[in-house]
Amino acid sequence: MSGLAVRDLPETASTPVLEIDLSAVADNTRLLAGRASGELMAVVKADGFGHGALDVARTALANGATWLGATSLLEALRLRDAGLTAPVLSWLNPVDADFGTAVAHGIDVAVPGLEHLAAVAAAPGRARVHLHVDAGMARDGASPSLWPQLCRSARRAEQRGELDVVGVMGHLGCAEDPGDPCNPAGRLRFAWALETARAAGLRPAHRHLAATAATLTDPRTHHTMSRVGAGLVGIDPSGTTVLRRPMRLTAPLVTVRRVRAGTPVGYGHAHVTAASTHLGLVPLGYADGLPRLASGRAEVLVAGRRRPVVGRLSMDQLVVDLGDLPPAPGATVTLFGPGDDGEPTVADWARWAETIEHEIVTGLGHRVTRRVRTAGAHLRSLS
Ligand SMILES: *Cc1c(COP(=O)(O)O)cnc(C)c1O
C-alpha cells in the first residue's frame, strides 16, 4: 500500500459525494438582484455557507452581485488572493486585527465602536469604513447610546485624513418573520442612525440593512444595498420565495443484511425492528455533518423510495431500513437534494434536527468528495 495517494483512487470509486450545482446559485442571484432596490452584496462567509466561497462569489458576481461580504479579514483576504477584484466588506474583526493589510488589499471594514475606530484610524493607509449600528439585536454594531459619538469621532478622523466613512450598516434581528414589530423598530433605528451620521457631516454612499429575508419581503429596508448569503444557496428564512437548492449529498450502500423481527440496531439499541426486513449501511455520519439529533426521524431516498434511517446515527455511518426488496450493495442513497425526485431536502434535515438549514449546510462534507457543477453544467471534482 505504500505510496498510494488519494489522487491514485479511480474517478469512479464509489464514495460519498456532495455535489454543488452552481446554476442554482446563478438563478438565485438573478432573482435576488431583481428584487433588491439597490446593489447586491454576495455574503460568502463560512466558505460560502458550505458551498465554496470562491465558487459562490464568482457565480454571484457573474449574475448581478457587485459586492462581496465576509466576516473576518482572513475570509476577505482569501477572496483577494484568488484574484477577485470586486469591492469586499469584512465586518467582524477583533480590535487588534491587521487593518493595515485590509487597506493594502482594498478591503472595506466595518467599525462597531470607538476602540475599533481608533485602531482603524491608526493603521497605515486610509481605510474605507462602514460604521455599524446595532439595529436592535444587541449583537454586533454600536449601541444607539454610543452612535452619535462614534459618528462625530469618525468625522474627525475623516477630516484628519485617517479614513473615509463610505458606508453605514445595520442588521435586523427578526426579518424572517415580516410581521414582527421588531422590524419597524429596526427600520426606524437605522433611519435615525443615517440622520445622525449625516448631521455629523458624514456622507456614506453605501447604506445597507437588509439580508435575504428583508430583501425578499420589505423594500423599505433596501436602501442602497442588500447583503445576501442564505438566499444565494437556496435558503429563504422568510419562507416566501421558491429558490433553487444547489446541494445534493449521495453515498453508496456499503452492505445489505437480512434481519429478523426484534433485531436491535445500532448504539444503545435505540431501534428494534418490528418485522423481518433488510438493513442497509450508509457510510455517512455526524462527523460528516449529518446531525445526530435526526436519528430515528430522518429518511433517505433509495431506489426511488423514501426509507427511514433507523437507530442512532454514528460518527461515520448510519443504517437504513430497506424493507423487503432491497437494492444491492453499491446502490446510490440520496441523503438530500433539490427535492425534485422525492428525495429529502436540507429543510427536511433541519426540521428533523430541530435547527435551521444554515446549520446543516455550513457543517457538511469536510471529508466527502465535493463535485462542483459549474453554471455551464461542466463537472469538476475536488477532494
Ligand atoms: C450573515 C450575514 C448576512 C447575510 O444574511 P442572510 O440572511 O444569510 O442573507 C448579512 N449581514 C450580516 C451582518 C451577516 O452576518
One-letter-per-residue 3-state SS of 192-221: HHHHHHHHCCCCCCEEEEECHHHHHHCHHH
Assess whether 63 and 199 both reside in one domain: yes
| Predicted pLDDT at 136 | 95
Find the 316 Cα to ligand 1 centroid distance in Å.
Answer: 31
Q: CATH number, domain at 224? A: 3.20.20.10
- Cα 87 to chain centroid distance, Å, stands at 20
- DSSP designation for 328: P
Assess whether 217 and 143 both reside in one domain: yes
Written as one letter, the residue type at 139 is: R
Identify whether 376 is part of a domain: no
Assess whether 309 and 354 both reside in one domain: yes
CA atoms within 13 A on the CB side of 328: 1
Identify whether 43 is part of a domain: yes
Identify whether 254 is part of a domain: yes
Assess whether 168 and 266 both reside in one domain: no
The segments of the chain whose pLDDT lies below 50 read 1-2, 383
Find the 38 Cα to ligand 1 centroid distance in Å.
Answer: 16
Model's pTM, two decimal places?
0.95
Domain count, the chain: 2
SS3 297: coil
| Predicted pLDDT at 383 | 44
- Residue of 25, 43, 209, 359 to mutate, ligand 1, most atoms within 8 A of C-beta: 43
Catalytic residues: 45, 267
Residues whose CB is less than 8 angstroms from the CB of residue 81 and which lie 6 or more positions away in sequence, other chains included: none
| Predicted pLDDT at 14 | 74
Find the 371 Cα to ligand 1 centroid distance in Å.
Answer: 26
Assess whether 64 and 39 both reside in one domain: yes
Last residue of a domain, one of 233, 264, 283: 233
Assess whether 189 and 328 both reside in one domain: no
The predicted-structure confidence for 116-140, as pLDDT tens digits, reads as follows: 999 999 999 999 999 999 999 999 9
| Predicted pLDDT at 377 | 54
| Predicted pLDDT at 245 | 98
Last residue of a domain, one of 200, 233, 266: 233
| β pairing state of 206-210 and 127-132 | unpaired
Protein residue whose Cα sits closest to atom 12 of ligand 1: 171
Assess whether 352 and 285 both reside in one domain: yes
Cell representation of residue 261: 423481527
- Residue of 227, 233, 360 to mutate, ligand 1, most atoms within 8 A of C-beta: 227
**Looking up cell 474517478, which residue turns up?**
11
Identify whether 131 is part of a domain: yes
Last residue of a domain, one of 185, 208, 233: 233
Identify whether 241 is part of a domain: no
Contact 249, 335 (CB under 8 A): yes
Verify whether ligand 1 is closer than 6 Å to residue 228 (CB atom): yes
| Predicted pLDDT at 82 | 98
The secondary structure of 273-291 as a DSSP string is: -SSSEEEEEES--GGGT--
Cβ-defined contacts of 29-32 (< 8 Å, 24+): 29/59, 29/60, 29/63, 29/64, 29/65, 29/232, 30/63, 30/64, 31/231, 31/241, 31/243, 32/64, 32/212, 32/215, 32/216, 32/226, 32/228, 32/231, 32/232
149 phi and psi, to 5 degrees?
-65, -40
Nearest Cα to 221, choosing from 179, 165, 180, 170?
170
| Predicted pLDDT at 1 | 40
Q: CATH number, domain at 297? A: 2.40.37.10
Find the 58 Cα to ligand 1 centroid distance in Å.
Answer: 18
Assess whether 259 and 217 both reside in one domain: no
Verify whether ligand 1 is closer than 6 Å to residue 227 (CB atom): yes
| Predicted pLDDT at 8 | 63
Range of the domain at 117: 22-233
Determine the atom of ligand 1 nearest the C-alpha atom of 358: 8
Distance CA 331, CA 284 (A): 15
Assess whether 89 and 137 both reside in one domain: yes
Identify whether 110 is part of a domain: yes
Identify whether 132 is part of a domain: yes
Cβ-defined contacts of 263-270 (< 8 Å, 24+): 265/310, 265/311, 265/319, 266/310, 266/311, 266/312, 266/314, 266/319, 267/311, 267/312, 267/314, 268/312, 269/311, 270/295, 270/296, 270/311, 270/312
SS3 347: helix
Protein residue whose Cα sits closest to atom 13 of ligand 1: 171
SS3 326: coil
Assess whether 320 and 347 both reside in one domain: yes
Identify whether 10 is part of a domain: no
Find the 88 Cα to ligand 1 centroid distance in Å.
Answer: 14
Verify whether ligand 1 is closer than 6 Å to residue 43 (CB atom): yes
Distance CA 171, CA 250 (A): 36
Assess whether 264 and 210 both reside in one domain: no
Count CB neighbours of 254 within 10 A.
14
Distance CA 274, CA 316 (A): 25
Contact 272, 247 (CB under 8 A): no
Assess whether 334 and 226 both reside in one domain: no
Verify whether ligand 1 is closer than 6 Å to residue 229 (CB atom): yes
Verify whether ligand 1 is closer than 6 Å to residue 230 (CB atom): yes
